[in-house]
Structure 1
Amino acid sequence: MLLCLWPFNFHQTNQVTWEPEGGVRFTPPATAYTSAPPAKLALLREWTILLDVKALAPWRQGRILGYGLDERYNNLSVDQLFDDLILRIRTDGDQRPRAVVVQKLFEQSTDRRFMLAIAYDGNDISAYIDGIRKVRQKIGIIDYSSWDNLYPLILGSFANGKYGWRGIFYQLCVLSRAVMPEELNSPERLLRDTTAVLRYTFDEREGTTVIDHGRPSPAALLWSGEFSPYIRTVLQSPRDYWPNPRHPFIMDIIANIIIYIPVGFLLSILSVKRLGRIGQVIVVVVIALIMSLTVEIAQAYLPTRSSSSVDILTNGLGAYVGLFVHRKGWVEKILSALNVSFPRQFQKDPLPQTHSTK
């Protein structure tokens, strides 16, 4: 059970640091978020996001920025998943955010500073790297009434601090129109001639506040010295998980069942025989569920762990499997076949000791 809490880093420093040449480095665990919800972003009908960043190896997945909380409660987000960039945007209140994937974008961009531009013209969304269009996809008209203008803007992680991104921010801007491809050939001129709705230049070089130079209603970006995410998520729903095709959800289920099989096996040995079969099942499963619940609550405060409601159910199932294995005496049979003596107290139905009489 303690392995599920490794490395026990309940109190960690928020690894957001200023770069000597300018910019802010994020090294997980790291997060920063706006001092107030940037409601002005939900008022845009066309827009362009300009990100002057550098993705650092070997960390190759995480949330670069998000205007929301997680996968379900999210207006817009930009993620790195290995070599791919994934833009998620809510287009309809009845659906999860829609994903636009730019494949192999980070294949040649890791450890190299580049300008990422994401533009929406009211119908199509386009992604550019250093002025070169990488993808254009039709998503139709966005229903902005489905956006929640109370969400914060978060850099470097989810709102709960999970899925941290390793990289450097040099500039982040949001413009109130879709830029033309030729304008991206000179981003300095573009920013000089266009008023940004939101703009962080990351040139303060000290402190824990980044000023928003956009108009109107500036939303400063803040972070604390100790890692303190925007929210703590306890017993997260599977619908809020970050989808990772290289780490399928089914693998987590199998792992959580296997981990608690020994727990159920040992609890079955230690449980009182006079409880009866049903009573023993109830005691073993309830104890396992309490143990799992304790671990999941603690994991909500670990940057590298996630607190999941599904884990509790699968852990309980694993404990029941362990109890079932003990009742069937399968371990005893395997050890007997290998000519290994099985401790008497661990046997399914230990026989009473007999004393020879003369």
Structure 2
Amino acid sequence: MVSRTQFPQSSKADSDASLEVWLRPKRQNASGTILAFYVGKGFPSLALRQSLGDLEVLVSDFARRNRPRIYIDDVFLQNAPVFITIVGRAHAMDVYVNGRLRKRVLDFMLRNHDVAGRLVLANAPATGDSWSGVIQGLAIFRGQLAPTEVVAHYLDWRQHNGANLSRTKTALAIYPFDDGGGRVVRNQLRSSPELVIPEHFFVLRKPILELPWDEYYGGWSYWKDIAINVIGFIPLGFFVTAYRCAERSRRGAALNAIATGLVLSLTIEVLQGFLPTRDSGTTDVITNTFGSALGAILYLYGPALWQGIHWKNVFELNTVPVEQVDRAG
């Protein structure tokens, strides 16, 4: 689901913003992007994700090319409706769950410019990260919500499906999802766009051959993927070099193996750019090509390196010559 047009930038872009969403996940032990705002810079300005039983909140700092994130533990422990409220405050962010303050994070803020651009629900805007569940209500506000307002809104959503939220002066958008059918979810306020349910699954702005610095996210899983991509292409480089050595020079065979790995990886990544559930990036091309080069080197120089260890000398280090034994005796 995606907004028909962009949410406009506020004249007070650095002022606080608030957001509340009422949802029910389909599975507890699952992951996916619940909602995200996208302004066309490669990654979302704001994203809420289910990470197994936890809630993940990501707010991007485009000036520093930084994507800090926080986790709120044990939010999705049961397959039951959960009401999440995020309130931006001066130099802090408050996260409420079912009307109660769950976590306050200093130096982690939600601003009006974070809730601008295209809104995407149940998937990430630039990659396949779908979320399974039901979104029962969504509201966005230009400004802080007081703790009493958070509780009042929680009760209003539960009892009246958010019917009274339009009275809030700072309300930017209210989606009660009570249209009864069709492919359009209407906003109670005329100032913000409607939401549209697409005919088929797609990624809003899926990049093709994303640059390495845009793909980088750190963490163990990132480096694990790097290692897998390198190791996975070593056999290709090894066997292509072995095959080509019968037809050309050793150097030519190695270059041919590296070029084969490059072309194959590039073809795969370009094709994945047209598949909504796959990522397309240059990091894999670089690591796959490097793996092919390692395979070629292993074929050309592996036997020499193995023989150069001089295993006989290694064993002789731990052996005392017979003459020395006799003299000692």
TM-score, length basis structure 2: 0.79
The answer to whether 1:84 aligns with 2:54 is yes
Deviations 1:187-231 (A, max 9, x none): 217625315211111122322221122352x21112321222212
Matched-pair contact (CA < 8 Å) for 1:91–1:143:
no
Equivalence for 1:112: 80
Given candidates 233, 241, 245, the residue that maps to 1:260 is 233
C-alpha distance in 2 between matches for 1:221 and 1:36: 9
Q: Which runs of 5+ in 1 are unaligned?
A: 1-31, 334-358
Taking structure 1 as reference, are residues 103 and 69 closer, same or farther at Cα in structure 2, changes over 3 Å only? farther
- Larger Rg over CA atoms: 2
Q: Which has the higher contact order (CA 8 A, sep 6+)?
A: 1
Taking structure 1 as reference, are residues 325 and 50 closer, same or farther at Cα in structure 2, changes over 3 Å only? same
Given candidates 185, 189, 194, the residue that maps to 1:210 is 185
The answer to whether 1:130 aligns with 2:90 is no
C-alpha distance in 2 between matches for 1:236 and 1:192: 41
Taking structure 1 as reference, are residues 200 and 241 closer, same or farther at Cα in structure 2, changes over 3 Å only? farther
Given candidates 118, 128, 147, the residue that maps to 1:152 is 118
The answer to whether 1:162 aligns with 2:136 is no
Given candidates 147, 151, 172, the residue that maps to 1:185 is 151
Given candidates 45, 56, 71, the residue that maps to 2:26 is 56
Equivalence for 2:252: 279
Taking structure 1 as reference, are residues 102 and 171 closer, same or farther at Cα in structure 2, changes over 3 Å only? same
C-alpha distance in 1 between matches for 2:111 and 2:147: 25
C-alpha distance in 2 between matches for 1:281 and 1:242: 30
Structure with a larger share of its residues in helix = 2
C-alpha distance in 2 between matches for 1:161 and 1:299: 11
SS of alignment partner, residue 37 of structure 2: strand
Taking structure 1 as reference, are residues 73 and 228 closer, same or farther at Cα in structure 2, changes over 3 Å only? closer
Equivalence for 1:224: 198
C-alpha distance in 2 between matches for 1:91 and 1:321: 37
The aligned length equals 294
C-alpha distance in 2 between matches for 1:103 and 1:269: 53
Matched-pair contact (CA < 8 Å) for 2:202–2:276:
no
Aligned-pair distance for 1:308?
Answer: 1.9
Q: Which runs of 5+ in 2 are unaligned?
A: 157-161, 307-329
Given candidates 227, 240, 252, the residue that maps to 2:214 is 240
Taking structure 1 as reference, are residues 71 and 53 closer, same or farther at Cα in structure 2, changes over 3 Å only? farther
Given candidates 316, 325, 334, the residue that maps to 2:298 is 325
C-alpha distance in 1 between matches for 2:215 and 2:62: 20
Aligned-pair distance for 1:41?
Answer: 5.8
Given candidates 201, 204, 210, the residue that maps to 2:176 is 201
Aligned-pair distance for 1:140?
Answer: 7.2
* Counterpart amino acid of residue 101 in structure 2: R
Taking structure 1 as reference, are residues 50 and 140 closer, same or farther at Cα in structure 2, changes over 3 Å only? closer
* Counterpart amino acid of residue 228 in structure 1: F
Deviations 1:25-44 (A, max 9, x none): xxxxxxx2111110156756
Aligned-pair distance for 1:71?
Answer: 8.7
C-alpha distance in 2 between matches for 1:95 and 1:170: 33
* Counterpart amino acid of residue 37 in structure 1: Q
C-alpha distance in 2 between matches for 1:53 and 1:219: 20
Given candidates 63, 66, 72, the residue that maps to 2:36 is 66
Aligned-pair distance for 1:272?
Answer: 4.9
Matched-pair contact (CA < 8 Å) for 1:77–1:87:
yes
C-alpha distance in 2 between matches for 1:312 and 1:140: 35
Given candidates 253, 277, 299, the residue that maps to 1:304 is 277
C-alpha distance in 1 between matches for 2:98 and 2:261: 53
Taking structure 1 as reference, are residues 298 and 69 closer, same or farther at Cα in structure 2, changes over 3 Å only? farther
SS of alignment partner, residue 131 of structure 2: coil
C-alpha distance in 1 between matches for 2:213 and 2:286: 16
